[in-house]
Amino acid sequence: MIKLKNNQYNSKKKKLDLHVPKYFPLILTIGFILLIVTIIASLVLGARVVSFQELMDGLFYQNQDSYGANVVQKRISRTIFSLCCGVALGVAGVLMQTVTRNPLADPSILGVNTGAALFVVVGISFFNITTASQYIWLALIGAAVTAVFVFGIGSMGRGGATPIKLVLAGAATTAALSSLVTAIMIPSQYAMDQFRYWQVGSVGSGSWDSILLFIPFLLMGVLIAFVSAPALNALALGDDVASGLGVRPGVLRVFAICAGVILCGVTTALAGPIGFIGLLATHAMRLVIGPDLRFLIPMSALAGAIILTISDVFGRLLGSPGELEVGIVTAFIGAPILILLAKRSKVRSL
Amino acid sequence: MRNQTVESNFIVKGMRQRRRRWIFVTSLLSILVVILCGGMLLLGNTIYPVDVVIRTLMGEDIAGANFAINTIRLPRMITGLFAGFAFGVAGYIFQTMLRNPLANPNILGITSGSSVAAVFCIIVLHTSNTVVSIAAVVGGLITVIVMYLLSRGRSFSIGRLIIIGIGMQAMLDAVISYLILKSAQQDIAVALRWLSGSLNGSKMSEVLPLILIVVVFTPILLALGKQLNMLELGEQMATSLGIATDKLRITLIVSAVFIIAIATATTGPIAFVSFLAGPIANRLVGASASNILPAGLVGANLVLFADLIGQFAFEYRFPVGVITGLLGAPYLIYLLIRMNRKGEL
Amino acid sequence: MSNTHVFRAERLVSGYDHKTIIHGIDLEIPQNKISVIIGANGSGKSTLLKTMAKLIKPTEGDVTLDGKAINKYPPKELARMLGLLPQSPVVPDGITVADLVGRGRFPHQSLFSGWSKQDYEAVEEAMAFMNITAFANHDIDELSGGQRQRVWIAMALAQQTDILLLDEPTTFLDITYQVEILDLLTNLNRRYGTTIVMVLHDINLSARYADHIFAVKEGKLIAEGKPTEVLTSDLVKTVFDLNCVVIPDPISDTPLVIPKGRYHVKDGDN
């Protein structure tokens, strides 16, 4: 009798696992509420806190003379931009971590950001490239080349790409690339001054133009991520099992890494290097809803958007009357998480 | 019995040979340092003849040469010499103590800790050099203590320590970037030193704390060299050979942090010197004796050599940190590849 | 040659962090003999050895050498009398065999002193004794596991201590090398009178090579004495929780433990 009950329970649990994670609707609801709160906070708060009237004026483009309304309008584009960046980085984080089966795989740790930076700086210094639409492509190529390079080094030898090997390969590559970046920049006062701002990731420059540039890449990357989620679930069980389930691991990996690189490369090109979002969003969500990528990918996107935007709001409040760039804020929230992960994981898996 | 003596001679001969190699290579490195120092004094916009340089150094007042040599080139040379030595020695100590070539003060975030403190003092508080130096040392020590507290746990793992170090570094570097970003336009040149390390604008008054600390701590560290070698054999072996390992470790860490922090406060974090010097010294000298001194000399050679290249090899003058970075990064990647292949990580 | 050191554990309590592993052990190591500590996994035998080697600080009681607690000695002075070969010592990169053995001379050298004639002689003697003179100028990395272990023991010999502690010196070695190492240690004991204390896993090799056995269970000393006197099937049952018969070893006449499993037992023998 008891045995039977147990069986029933087990099969029921299994069914639940296959479908919707426990409390998923609740978590989703909380997520959306948080998102709305975040958006409102991002519109209202900052060096100047706007009133409800000003917010309404700004949102519906009335009373254009009001200073507050103008502030709100500036913040609208900034907020949308930061949400885009957050989604991109959140999804990129999940993809990278899944493909490498490595909990520490984040674009900033893997040196992908610096790779993008190097190509952008080369473009600015040697090829007179000035518009964002041009250096998006450079950043993408830079990010892709670096990603391939770092994974190449990190996966040599026994055990494949273990976290410690990847992190070190990333750190070494970052160090190498930043030397190059500095070497190229120093002769040019102009590039140096530009770069000083770009080097700290910020969403303050987010304009409608940059959002329009962003959208196609964002859609492409997110689409690939969603489509490949079930196959990636299979990949998480190991290459052999995945092959048995009819997935081609090699092709899938290339696709997923491409999507990850596109997402973080474009973000880096437009906003500068913003670290740790992928790490934070993915780990937080995995704790709450479990490892099923069909849910983890959208939830990480949501979490990334919320975390990045909230960090930006904090940056604006803390740095008032100026601002604390969001890249600095995320480094401060993210680095402790990295340390915590390192502390908790077993020595073997490092 | 005769056979035994022949064999014995062969052991002692080998040991003596390796010791002679140590002396030979160390002397060679010293000579090289002297030559590079000479180069630093001789070369510049105007190349003065050797006798003019010597007479100027002896105190004779020769128009033009006096300013160029005594006010610009000499402080630059001395700063490079002592900072390079300091980076080399501190790097070697951390690498040997933790038995991992990757575990150098850069990766562990100690340099970043010193840099943050120094940049804060320079850009925000506009304090004197002495305060900057003290702050850098305090910053480095605090970083070490935090690292120690964080990496303590059920079992110590070097991999964990390095990841924690990279995390700390990310935070500290964010602070540096922020401070530089908010600095006034005229401070940028100074501030940039904290991104890449440079000998530009070295002044005699600024290099004094560095000289003092290096002169005080180097003998202490050299005296501990033999014990450091025992520590290499593992905690238990070292204890059974009569070493108070905890005490030794604390002394080594504090001394190493002192000299690297003061060097960082003077020149900024010159990339990769602390990482390269130890392995190069070991490669050149072998592992027969303590290589603290050779590592320091390699460090000084690297910095002086890289600075000469940075000053004169290109159309534009590059700070020394950029050159050491370009030279060192490929080596770091090579080392990683080799360690991965051998499965040492 | 012989030594007269009195090496004892007195009401010893020790362990890691807050976990007590050794619960009050009193023992005296017989002089000029080979003693082996035996016990099941987790019995505390290794902890006992480490505490006696000063690697772990006792929480209560003392380890004393000639009546004085070992942590009261200056570390170097103690290292001239008491040596330890840990289970997994670390090999520094790129070091030659002779230089590694030479590091054993550290306790005999002062701060800046160079190498004395005695130092060289000690290294030569230790290497000749362990039969590794031929490898003197080779890199340690080139040696096999058995050869390496001989190098480590040579290093401990160069330290010239009267008492030598070894933590499982035969682990990870093939049976041939296990016997070789134990023979060499016996040579050492016979020739110089070195007091040897070691932890061994193999109970039959322990019985054959030990002059004196300490049986440890749950951090307490259960029995001690000559193998022929103490090593009975009852003791094995208590210490290892293993049913066995003990017969005389056909080679050495020391006790030989034959385990009884649940299977492969002849009819009528159970």
Q: pLDDT tens for residues A224-242? A: 999 988 888 888 777 777 7
Distance from CA of C261 to the nearest CA of B (A): 37
Residues C147, C171 share a domain = no
Between A and B, how many CB-CB pairs are < 8 A?
A: 151
B274 touches chain A (CB under 8 A): no
Tokens for A338? Answer: 């990295």
pLDDT of residue A334: 82
pTM: 0.83
Cis status, amide bond into A103, omega within 30 of 0? no
> pLDDT band for position C151 (50/70/90)?
very high
CA distance C61 to C10: 6
Nearest CB among A335, A342, A343 relative to B170 is that of A335
Residues C74, C10 share a domain = yes
Mean pLDDT (whole number) for C198-222? 92
Distance from CA of B123 to the nearest CA of C (A): 43
Does the pLDDT value for residue A153 go beyond 70? yes
Cα angle for residues C175, C176, C179 (degrees, 5° grid): 85
Chains B and A touch, using 3 or more CB pairs below 8 Å? yes
Does the pLDDT value for residue A14 go beyond 50? no
**pLDDT one-digit tens code per residue, B259-275:** 998 998 888 888 789 88
Do A335 and B159 make contact, defined as CB atoms within 8 angstroms?
A: no
Interface test with B, best of A174, A328, A345 (most B CBs within 10 A): A328
More confident residue, B83 or A129: B83
**pLDDT one-digit tens code per residue, A293-319:** 888 899 999 999 999 999 999 888 887
CA distance B29 to A225: 56
The answer to whether residue C267 is domain-embedded is no
DSSP per residue over B83-109, as a string? HHHHHHHHHHHHHHHTT-TT--TTTTT
- Which amino acid would we find at residue B236? Q
CA distance C88 to C97: 17
**pLDDT one-digit tens code per residue, B268-320:** 888 789 888 998 998 898 877 889 999 999 999 999 999 999 888 887 788 88
Fill in the DSSP letter of residue C258: E
B181 touches chain C (CB under 8 A): no
Nearest to C36 by CA among C216, C244, C262, C254: C216
pLDDT of residue A2: 39
pLDDT of residue B82: 96
C113 touches chain B (CB under 8 A): no
Tokens for B66? Answer: 């006096």
CA distance B241 to B264: 35
Is B221 strand, coil or helix?
helix
Residues C17, C72 share a domain = yes
Does the pLDDT value for residue A8 go beyond 50? no
CA distance C144 to B343: 18
Domain of residue C234 covers 1-81+162-240
pLDDT of residue A6: 41
Nearest to A246 by CA among A235, A257, A262: A235
Bridge partners of C15, per DSSP, are C20
Burial of C205 (0-12, 13-18, 19+ CB in 10 A): middle
C247 touches chain B (CB under 8 A): no
Mean pLDDT (whole number) for B96-101? 84
pLDDT of residue C227: 92
Mean pLDDT (whole number) for C88-107? 87
Q: Strands C220-225 and C212-217, how do they pair?
A: antiparallel
Does the pLDDT value for residue A10 go beyond 50? no
Residues 6+ apart with CB under 8 A from B231: B96, B97, B238, B243, B245, B248, B249
Number of domains in chain B: 1
**pLDDT one-digit tens code per residue, B186-237:** 666 666 666 678 888 788 888 888 999 999 999 999 999 989 999 888 888 9
Q: What are phi and psi of C223, to 5 degrees?
A: -155, 155
CA distance B118 to B127: 10
Fill in the DSSP letter of residue B68: I
Domain of residue B95 covers 15-342
Distance from CA of C240 to the nearest CA of B (A): 28
Tokens for A67? Answer: 């200073």
How far is the first Cα of chain A from the last one, in angstroms, to the nearest whole number? 45
Asked whether the beta carbons of B159 and B340 are under 8 A apart, the reply is no
C136 touches chain B (CB under 8 A): yes
Q: How many helices (H) and strands (E) does chain C have?
A: 9, 12
Distance from CA of A339 to the nearest CA of B (A): 5
**pLDDT one-digit tens code per residue, A71-99:** 777 888 889 999 999 999 999 989 988 88
Place of tokens 């490929």: B330
Do A172 and B336 make contact, defined as CB atoms within 8 angstroms?
A: yes
CB atoms within 10 A of CB B91: 31
Do B287 and C93 make contact, defined as CB atoms within 8 angstroms?
A: yes
Fill in the DSSP letter of residue B169: H
Asked whether the beta carbons of B173 and B113 are under 8 A apart, the reply is no
| Chain B residue with minimum CA distance to A174 | B329
**Cα-Cα-Cα-Cα dihedral of B3, B5, B7, B11, to 10°?**
180
| Chain A residue with minimum CA distance to B195 | A182
Does the pLDDT value for residue B6 go beyond 60? no
H or E, element range at C199:
strand C195-199
pLDDT of residue B154: 57
Residues C203, C189 share a domain = yes
Nearest to B227 by CA among B213, B218, B214, B237: B237
Mean pLDDT (whole number) for B59-75? 82
Asked whether the beta carbons of A81 and A305 are under 8 A apart, the reply is no
Tokens for C14? Answer: 């020790």
Do A338 and B170 make contact, defined as CB atoms within 8 angstroms?
A: yes
pLDDT of residue A4: 40
| Chain B residue with minimum CA distance to A155 | B340
Partners of B10 on chain C (C-beta within 8 Å) are 133, 136-137
pLDDT of residue A240: 77
A348 touches chain B (CB under 8 A): no
Residues 6+ apart with CB under 8 A from C9: C25, C26, C27, C28, C48, C51, C52, C61, C62, C63, C64
Mean pLDDT, chain B, as a whole number? 84
Cα angle for residues A3, A5, A11 (degrees, 5° grid): 105
Mean pLDDT, chain A, as a whole number? 79
Distance from CA of B181 to the nearest CA of A (A): 6
Cα angle for residues C145, C149, C152 (degrees, 5° grid): 140
Neighboring chains of C (3 or more beta-carbon pairs < 8 A):
B
Q: What are phi and psi of B187, to 5 degrees?
A: -90, -5
Provide the CA B273 distance to its chain's centre, in angstroms.
6
**pLDDT one-digit tens code per residue, C56-65:** 889 999 999 9
The answer to whether residue C198 is domain-embedded is yes
CA distance A63 to C43: 82
CA distance C139 to C99: 10
CA distance B99 to B92: 10
Number of domains in chain C: 2
pLDDT of residue A135: 76
Interface test with B, best of A109, A148, A156 (most B CBs within 10 A): A156
CA distance C38 to C27: 14
Does the pLDDT value for residue C34 go beyond 90? yes
The answer to whether residue B304 is domain-embedded is yes
Fill in the DSSP letter of residue C223: E
Distance from CA of A5 to the nearest CA of B (A): 41
Do B15 and C98 make contact, defined as CB atoms within 8 angstroms?
A: yes
> pLDDT band for position A264 (50/70/90)?
confident
Between B and C, how many CB-CB pairs are < 8 A?
A: 113
Bridge partners of C190, per DSSP, are none
CATH number of the A91-273 domain: 1.10.3470.10
**Percent composition of chain A: helix, strand, coil (DSSP 3-state, to 5):** 75, 0, 25
Nearest CB among B107, B177, B181 relative to A171 is that of B107
pLDDT of residue A3: 40
Partners of B170 on chain A (C-beta within 8 Å) are 108, 275-276, 331, 334-335, 338
CA–CA distance from A244 to each of A95, A223, A234, A249, A293 (Å)?
22, 25, 9, 10, 19
In this structure, of A119-128, C24-33, C75-84, the range with the lowest mean pLDDT score is: A119-128
A183 touches chain B (CB under 8 A): yes
Tokens for B280? Answer: 């190069």
> pLDDT band for position C158 (50/70/90)?
very high
In this structure, of A81-90, A138-147, A216-225, C209-218, the range with the lowest mean pLDDT score is: A138-147
Strands of the sheet containing C82-85, edge to edge, are C82-85, C163-167, C195-199, C34-38, C212-217, C220-225
CA distance A215 to A278: 19
Partners of B271 on chain A (C-beta within 8 Å) are 175, 179
Burial of A259 (0-12, 13-18, 19+ CB in 10 A): buried
| Chain A residue with minimum CA distance to B158 | A347
State the alpha helices, DSSP H only, in chain C. 45-52, 75-79, 97-102, 117-129, 145-158, 175-192, 203-209, 227-230, 233-240
Helix A208-235, helix A132-154: angle, nearest 10? 20
pLDDT of residue B340: 73
Name residues 17-76 of chain B within 8 A of A (Cβ). none
Question: Which of A188-192, A297-301, B40-44 has the highest mean predicted lDDT (pLDDT)?
Answer: A297-301
pLDDT of residue A53: 75
The answer to whether residue B82 is domain-embedded is yes
B247 touches chain A (CB under 8 A): no
**pLDDT one-digit tens code per residue, B135-155:** 988 999 999 888 888 877 656
Mean pLDDT (whole number) for A112-138? 80
CA distance B324 to A268: 27
B123 touches chain A (CB under 8 A): no
Distance from CA of C55 to the nearest CA of B (A): 6
Residues C2, C77 share a domain = yes
Sign of CA dihedral B101, B107, B113, B119: positive
Category of B44 on φ-ψ map: left (φ > 0), alpha (ψ -120 to 50) or beta: left
For position B187, which CATH number holds?
Answer: 1.10.3470.10
